[in-house]
């Protein structure tokens, strides 16, 4: 509910202060969003084993993204994030998504795009954390495919509000079309990984979670 209120305030401010401030207000919205989740995470009672689990998931995703650096759209970070979030829950899933984007960009390069990538991966981690470990494989595959486009569309918003002038229906369609190939490949790669080894990874992470009584 709080995020919905913040979104409404953001849109109202954009209408008042014109399109020149779209990027400024969007960054403000991202900062507030991160603040809410990090504050909530700090309030929760997490033990050292849970922190280690979060670190392992983030490290796997970052290393996977770096290994496939030569192939821009082929990255396993969404697959690893989805698996970790299903086990740890929505709040931790959002946190892991932001950490994965921030730390991997220490290799790929930081910039104004980093908060947007943090938000995109955070949202995917949040939604994935709402899923049960018993979710059917076909739903996992569909969600993996959709997550590739969700991340791409959020990054398209960053590009449009920051670099497209004027913002028209035609310019928005052109921006979406330009990124479609990369989003499609990313979505297919994530879906295939979930189809082939998704359930195995969930079982592996779930066994670790139960053994050490994590995120209960």
What's the pLDDT tens digit per position in 168-213?
888 888 988 988 999 999 999 999 999 999 888 888 888 888 887 7
Total tally of structural domains belonging to the chain: 1
Distance, CA of 28 to CA of 8 (rounded, Å)? 13
Distance, CA of 166 to CA of 164 (rounded, Å)? 6
> Model-level pTM greater than 0.85?
no
Type and span of the H or E element at 75: none
Rg (CA), the chain: 18
**Cα dihedral 160, 164, 169, 170 in deg (nearest 10):** -120
pLDDT surpasses 70 at 11: no
Q: Considering the domain boundaries, does residue 189 fall inside one?
A: yes
Q: Considering the domain boundaries, does residue 117 fall inside one?
A: yes
Q: Considering the domain boundaries, does residue 31 fall inside one?
A: no
Here the CATH number for the domain that contains residue 194 is: 1.10.1760.20
pLDDT surpasses 80 at 57: yes
Q: Considering the domain boundaries, does residue 33 fall inside one?
A: no
Q: Considering the domain boundaries, does residue 25 fall inside one?
A: no
Chain segment 102-143, per-residue pLDDT in tens: 888 888 887 778 888 888 898 899 899 999 878 899 999 999
How high does pLDDT run on average in the chain? 82
| C-beta separation of 19 from 154 below 8 A | no
Q: Considering the domain boundaries, does residue 118 fall inside one?
A: yes
Distance, CA of 145 to CA of 50 (rounded, Å)? 28
Q: Considering the domain boundaries, does residue 39 fall inside one?
A: no
Q: Give residues with Cβ within 8 angstroms of 25, minimum separation 6.
A: 10, 13, 14, 17
Q: Considering the domain boundaries, does residue 178 fall inside one?
A: yes
Using the structure block, give the residue that is written with the tokens 């709040």: 91
How high is the pLDDT of residue 164?
A: 77
- Could you list the residue range(s) of the whole structural domain that residue 67 is in? 48-211
Tokens of 139: 């739903």
Give the residue among 188, 34, 52 at the shortest CA–CA distance from 114: 34
């Amino acid at each position: 509910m709080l995020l919905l209120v913040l979104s409404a305030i953001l849109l109202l401010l954009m209408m008042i202060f014109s399109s020149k401030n779209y990027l400024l207000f969007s960054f403000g919205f991202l900062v507030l969003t991160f603040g809410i989740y990090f504050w909530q995470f700090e309030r929760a009672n997490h033990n050292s084993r849970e922190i280690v689990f979060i670190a392992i998931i983030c490290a796997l995703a970052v290393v996977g993204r770096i290994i496939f650096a030569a192939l821009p759209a082929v990255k396993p970070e969404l697959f690893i994030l989805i698996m970790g979030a299903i086990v740890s829950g929505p709040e931790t899933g959002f946190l892991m998504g932001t950490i994965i984007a921030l730390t991997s960009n220490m290799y790929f390069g930081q910039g104004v795009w980093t908060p947007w990538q943090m938000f995109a991966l955070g949202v995917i981690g949040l939604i994935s954390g709402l899923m049960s470990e018993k979710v059917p494989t076909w739903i996992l595959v569909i969600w993996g495919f959709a997550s590739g486009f969700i991340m791409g569309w959020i990054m398209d918003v960053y590009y449009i509000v920051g670099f497209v002038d004027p913002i028209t229906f035609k310019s928005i369609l052109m921006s979406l079309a330009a990124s479609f190939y990369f989003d499609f490949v990313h979505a297919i790669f994530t879906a295939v990984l979930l189809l082939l080894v998704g359930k195995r990874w969930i079982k592996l992470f779930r066994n670790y979670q139960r053994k050490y009584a994590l995120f209960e």
